[in-house]
Amino acid sequence: MSATPVLIDCDPGHDDAIALVMAHRSPDIDLLGVTTVCGNATLDRTTTNARRIMEFIGATDTPIAEGCREPLARPLVLGTADGPSGLDGTPDLPEASMALDERHAVDFIADTLASASEPITLVPTGPLTNIALFLLKYPHLKDRIGRIVLMGGAFYRRSEYITPTEFNIFCDPEAANIVVNSGVDVTMVGLDVTMHVLVEEPQFAELGKIDTPLGKVVLDWLAFYEKLHRGIMGVGGALHDPLALAVVIDPSLIETRPAHIAIDLTGSHMFGATVADFWNERGEGTNVTIATSVDSDRFFDLLYGLLRDERGV
Ligand code: BDR
Ligand code: CA
């Protein structure tokens, strides 16, 4: 099978960083570009981080376009899981020197879709601001999207984040609302599954065997990330964004259910919560597919394999 053409929209972020690494190294992904958004850190920082990561892994031919500085309708609330820089604990990365694409992320996405010979998969791993703005500005290009596989939402489980919400949705709920009701095929890889792909002792032991510059940097990222996560939630680092990307490589990693979801845009403590109707109780049909379980061992085998592969660093 030929590689799936993919655009990643991200806010790196340690886990976004690992998703970028996996996409670049997977023979099943044709990474057409990376767009950045605010979220885990300010836009300047997430863009700088994306450039540093892509340079380090030798992906300088992949364009990076900068996107939105703030959510559509609310002040930016920064994430807390990655340190102020968005990528704390990684002294070994080069300073950013690769040029940014001159287009805004939204226009870059539009041009890429318009010129593609086949439908493109979008993988948003941050707040959905850029994707919503793209859908508002270029509705006629919606049909060029094959599917959207996004990291976001919490359905069965309570979130780790303030209320029963997940950060990417909480940060820009209006944008998320536009995306899930766009009519595009949307798969939500949320906390129900990503909180089962945890880096703990056994995973650190396996990763520690990967004796390459990349292996060492990934270990540094995860050591920092795990410590912060454990402090907040009492469990190891959850590989949220890498799982969303992995699902494009191997859809059989997760089980899914179709549902109709509503996003609370008006509540106070429940604001940003994703409320799912799995049984069509409200008679609204379905608007998304939700990941409900994951084969975590197979996810980690995929990750180790891609990191061990002797490509680049
Ligand atoms: C999501 O929020 C960020 O902290 C992570 O990068 C991930 O995209 C998890 O809730
Ligand atoms: Ca992210």
State the DSSP code for 98: S
Domain membership flag for residue 254: yes
Distance 283 CA to ligand 1 centre (A): 31
Segment 131-154, tens digit of pLDDT: 999 999 999 999 999 999 999 999
The answer on pLDDT for 239 being more than 70 is: yes
Domain membership flag for residue 30: yes
Domain membership flag for residue 176: yes
Q: Can you give the pLDDT at residue 313?
A: 67
Mean pLDDT of the residues in the chain: 93
Residues in contact with 153: Cβ distance below 8 Å, sequence separation at least 6, in sequence order: 166, 169, 188, 190, 191, 192, 261, 274, 290
Average pLDDT estimate for 27-32: 98
Distance 116 CA to ligand 1 centre (A): 29
Domain membership flag for residue 240: yes
Residues in contact with 165: Cβ distance below 8 Å, sequence separation at least 6, in sequence order: 154, 159, 270, 271, 272, 273, 274
75: left (phi over 0), alpha (psi -120 to 50) or beta: beta
Residues in contact with 262: Cβ distance below 8 Å, sequence separation at least 6, in sequence order: 274, 275, 277
Segment 252-301, tens digit of pLDDT: 999 999 999 999 999 877 889 999 999 999 999 999 999 999 999 999 99
Domain membership flag for residue 313: no
As given in the structure block, the two tokens for residue 28 are 């099943």
Q: Can you give the pLDDT at residue 301?
A: 97
**Counting ligands in written order, which one lies closest to the CA of residue 11?**
2
Domain membership flag for residue 135: yes
Q: Can you give the pLDDT at residue 164?
A: 67
Question: In this prediction, what percent of the chain has a pLDDT beyond 70?
Answer: 96
How many domains would you assign to the chain? Answer: 1
Q: How many CB atoms lie within 10 A of CB 145?
A: 22
297: closest CA among 160, 202, 216, 217?
202
Q: Can you give the pLDDT at residue 233?
A: 77
Least confident piece of the model among 85-94, 98-107, 173-182: 85-94
Here the CATH number for the domain that contains residue 117 is 3.90.245.10
Ligand 1 first shell, C-beta below 6 A:
13, 15-16, 40, 79, 81, 125-126, 151, 166-168, 240-241
Ligand 1: which of 167, 225, 228 to mutate, most ligand atoms within 8 Å of CB? 167
Q: Can you give the pLDDT at residue 256?
A: 98
Ligand 1: which of 125, 194, 225 to mutate, most ligand atoms within 8 Å of CB? 125
109: closest CA among 127, 95, 124?
124
Distance 241 CA to ligand 2 centre (A): 6
Are the beta carbons of 21 and 307 closer than 8 angstroms? yes
Range(s) of the domain holding residue 262:
4-308
Q: Can you give the pLDDT at residue 163?
A: 59
**Per-residue confidence band for 87, with pLDDT thresholds at 50, 70 and 90:** confident
Are the beta carbons of 165 and 274 closer than 8 angstroms? yes
Q: Can you give the pLDDT at residue 160?
A: 58
